[in-house]
Amino acid sequence: MFVCFLLLCSSHSVFAESGYDLWLRYHRIDNTTLYNNYREANGEVIFPGSSDRLNAAKKELRLGLKGLLNIDLNEVQHFSKRGVMAGTPESLPLIAKTSYIDEIKKLDDEGYIIRSVTINGKQVTLIAGKKDIGVLYGVFHYLRLMQTQQSLDNLAIKEEPKLQIRVLDHWDNLNGTIERGYAGYTLWDWQRLPGYIDPRYIDYARANASIGINGTVLNNVNANARSLRTEYLIKAAALADALRPYGIKVYLTARFSAPKEIGGLKTADPLDPSVWQWWKDKVKEIYQYIPDFGGFLVKANSEGQPGPQDYKRTHADGANMMAEALEPYGGIVMWRAFVYENKRNVDRALNGFDEFKPLDGQFNKNVFIQPKNGPIDFQPREALHPLFGSMPKTPLMLEFQITQEYLGFASHLVYLGTLFEETLQSDTYAKGKGTTVSKVLQEYKKTNGISGIAGVPNIGTDINWTGHLFGQANWHAFGRLAWNPDIPVAELAEEWIRMTFSNDANVIKTVKHIMLSSHEAAVDYMTPLGLNHIMNFATHYGPGPWYKDPNWDAWDYHKADETGLGVDRTMKGSNAVSQYKSPIREKLNDIKTCPEQLLLWFHHVPWNYKMSSGRIMWDELVDHYYRGVD
Ligand code: GCW
């Protein structure tokens, strides 16, 4: 009986899994030939060095080899058979003997190579970074090769992140709840910090490092000034210590009125010297606790949050005040561009561009402006935010929503990789054809020295992290695209399936089809043909085109009447089209050339308008809804 029990325990397949292990399951390789090849390739390991990051990397390699291959990492000084060596030029002097030493030295600080090399006649896989963090990223990549059952022969991999700052913006409140979170409560156990470090912080860090995320904003943009008080800084510092080995920096949201709320000042006016000084002192204090603190994320003068406009100052006045305080320590400000007037006669789609475009060039060099992917609000499908391509002097940090606020919470399977890709590959025409959003974001590294991207995660205390197992795929897709916004999403979906479920061709084909068609299906059953913001107020998804309260009226977003449906944003309407560059502007402006998937976003269309299918608009709309449901 007992023996049977032991046998059961040793066999992975009989465990009901909770999903906790995410895409890092490291289950035994089920292909015998590969299993034997991999075991041979990992016979010996040279991995000196003992920094926190190298230790994290080694720990991961050990975990991976044990799980995938049932190998206990065998550390040696010299190879007697085939093996792996990992390190930086500092930690692993042997690297200097390879022909790759120059390439390694030239790598970006987070970059790495994985190369098949020969050392003393032995075949070796070299995992090398310029810095320790590169080695950690390299190890995750190396394990991924095996998890997705790739060959380990003739490896010639070189990776550097295409965007520098890759952050998750948690909308987590100090009371434990998460705004628009559908997977339980916040991971940050503020009550027990700094004394108790939940092991889950480490698994959170591992998961993020495995996909290249290097920053986390701990708290909600609808900010609580208390998070800047000393007691909370000490707690945040403990989190920063836990995450640091995995290359993850901690950032905080900064409530603009904090000098008044917790600083005892009479004003938060950014041009008042005492306010200026308050932020300088606060920032100095933060760096005493968190020496590599990343900086502030700020939601100002948006949805009731305080901001510089309360004092008739501009966003630039506000952002620059904080930027100046952070600058000596290398910190940044991420200033959100999600602003709207909430007036019935104003087209909300115009507000972000109108407020920020005139300020281009007025921000300090460590300020990012952070627009959402579209000008309304994380809708199932958005037109592109017109600020992309329009702020050449100010680095923009795109903000995606990974949590499915408008896409069915954690109840609907909607793979967002395709949504992210659609935005990133959209052409802004900023510098002629082919100036995709991805390129615009990357270009800021050259022009402004910084670049970045942010995602509002779907992570909480649920045992599977994201409520719905497929939510994990959205976290994964965001991180991988943050590292390289041009990876085809179909590849990422496949990678995630292989790592999460199986390398079986049938599983891959079936699940991939579900994933890659799921976003379009959701758009079809929620807001086809460019409809948006017609959701039910309470749930933010089920339909509520009739919704009306003193603050907003869904009708303003669809304008259904006897003449037709959709919002006229053409030159004859609100003229939102003019915020886009030529020739997009003209294309969107003309009902005949406007892409049908955005038709009702930009045009008020007669019900009997002939669509390209030959159907009238109403029938086409109905057809999309049915298609989505099917
Ligand atoms: O999408 C809306 C959400 C708010 C959110 C806001 C924002 C954090 O409904 O919950 O507030 O956007 O992005 O600031």
- Under DSSP, the state recorded for 485 is T
541 within 8 A of 409, measured Cβ to Cβ: yes
Helices (H), 148-272: 199-211, 230-243, 258-261
Alpha carbon of 467 to ligand 1 centroid (Å): 20
Structure tokens at 16: 């009901």
Question: What's 531's domain CATH number?
Answer: 3.90.1330.10
Our answer to whether residue 596 is catalytic in this structure is no
Query: pLDDT tens digits, residue range 521-555?
Result: 999 999 999 999 999 888 898 889 999 988 889 99
Neighbours of 31 (CB within 10 A): 12
Q: What percentage of the chain has pLDDT greater than the value 70?
A: 98
pLDDT at site 418:
98
Measured CA to CA in angstroms, residue 276 lies from 19, 60, 268, 281, 322 at distances of 47, 44, 9, 9, 8
Identify the helix (H) or strand (E) that includes residue 289: helix 273-289
Domain count of the fold of the chain:
3
Residue 123 shares a structural domain with residue 222? no
Alpha carbon of 236 to ligand 1 centroid (Å): 23
Pairing of strands 165-169, 452-456: parallel
Instruction: Report how far residue 479's alpha carbon sits from residue 41's, in angstroms, rounded to the nearest whole number.
Output: 28
Residue 150 shares a structural domain with residue 173? no
Residue 12: pLDDT over 50:
no
State the catalytic residue, choosing from 303, 486, 553, 586.
303
Is residue 521 situated within a structural domain?
Answer: no
Which of 159, 183, 202 finishes a domain? 159
Closest residue to atom 13 of ligand 1, CA basis: 338
Q: Can you tell me the mean pLDDT for 578-592? A: 98
Q: Can you tell me the mean pLDDT for 514-524? A: 98
Residue 232 shares a structural domain with residue 376? yes
Which atom of ligand 1 lies closest to the CA of 406? Answer: 1
Query: pLDDT tens digits, residue range 139-148?
Result: 999 999 999 9
Question: What's 232's domain CATH number?
Answer: 3.20.20.80
State the catalytic residue, choosing from 241, 377, 556, 623.
377
Residue 233: pLDDT over 60:
yes
235 within 8 A of 272, measured Cβ to Cβ: no
Residue 7: pLDDT over 60:
no
Residue 126 shares a structural domain with residue 173? no
pLDDT-wise least confident of 6-20, 291-305, 482-496, 531-545: 6-20
Query: pLDDT tens digits, residue range 593-627?
Result: 999 999 999 999 999 999 999 999 999 999 999 99
Measured CA to CA in angstroms, residue 180 lies from 188, 371, 377 at distances of 16, 18, 13
72 alpha carbon, distance to own chain's centre: 34
Which of 142, 159, 176 finishes a domain? 159
Closest residue to atom 3 of ligand 1, CA basis: 180
Alpha carbon of 377 to ligand 1 centroid (Å): 8
Residue 151 shares a structural domain with residue 35? yes
Which of 442, 472, 506 finishes a domain? 506
**Residue in 281, 357, 351 with CA at minimum distance from that of residue 322:** 281
Q: How confident is the model at residue 342 (pLDDT cuts 50, 70, 90)?
A: confident
Is residue 512 situated within a structural domain?
Answer: no
Our answer to whether residue 405 is catalytic in this structure is yes
Q: What percentage of the chain has pLDDT greater than the value 90?
A: 94
Residue 384 shares a structural domain with residue 484? yes
Is residue 2 situated within a structural domain?
Answer: no
pLDDT at site 572:
98
Is residue 421 situated within a structural domain?
Answer: yes
Residue 2: pLDDT over 60:
no
Ligand 1, from 168, 169, 171, 224: best to mutate by most atoms within 8 Å of Cβ? 171
Question: What's 114's domain CATH number?
Answer: 3.30.379.10
Instruction: Report how far residue 530's alpha carbon sits from residue 598's, in angstroms, rounded to the nearest whole number.
Output: 4
Q: Can you tell me the mean pLDDT for 175-197? A: 98
Q: What is the mean pLDDT of the chain?
A: 96
367 within 8 A of 323, measured Cβ to Cβ: yes
Residue 90 shares a structural domain with residue 180? no
Is residue 22 situated within a structural domain?
Answer: no
Ligand 1, from 222, 348, 376, 541: best to mutate by most atoms within 8 Å of Cβ? 222
Spell out which residues line ligand 1, taking CB within 6 angstroms: 171, 179-180, 221-222, 299, 303, 338, 377-378, 405
3-state secondary structure 409-436: CCCCCCCCHHHHHHHHCCECCECECCCE
Closest residue to atom 7 of ligand 1, CA basis: 338
Three-class secondary structure of residue 105 per DSSP: helix
**Structural domain that includes position 567:** 527-629
Residue 6: pLDDT over 60:
no
Residue 415: pLDDT over 80:
yes
pLDDT at site 135:
98
Residue 148 shares a structural domain with residue 171? no
Query: pLDDT tens digits, residue range 276-316?
Result: 999 999 999 999 999 999 999 999 999 999 999 999 999 99
Our answer to whether residue 377 is catalytic in this structure is yes
Query: pLDDT tens digits, residue range 111-123?
Result: 999 999 999 899 9
Residue 139 shares a structural domain with residue 174? no
Is residue 312 situated within a structural domain?
Answer: yes
Residue 292 shares a structural domain with residue 143? no
Is residue 511 situated within a structural domain?
Answer: no
Identify the helix (H) or strand (E) that includes residue 295: strand 295-298
State the catalytic residue, choosing from 110, 169, 327, 405.
405
Residue 429, amino acid: Y
Alpha carbon of 180 to ligand 1 centroid (Å): 8
Which atom of ligand 1 lies closest to the CA of 221? Answer: 8
Closest residue to atom 11 of ligand 1, CA basis: 222
Q: Can you tell me the mean pLDDT for 573-577? A: 98
Residue 497 shares a structural domain with residue 562? no
Residues 6+ apart with CB under 8 A from 304: none
Is residue 411 situated within a structural domain?
Answer: yes
- Report the DSSP beta bridge partners of residue 128: 87, 113
Q: How confident is the model at residue 490 (pLDDT cuts 50, 70, 90)?
A: very high
Alpha carbon of 546 to ligand 1 centroid (Å): 21
Residue 378: pLDDT over 90:
yes
Residue 171 shares a structural domain with residue 151? no
26 within 8 A of 63, measured Cβ to Cβ: yes
Alpha carbon of 235 to ligand 1 centroid (Å): 26
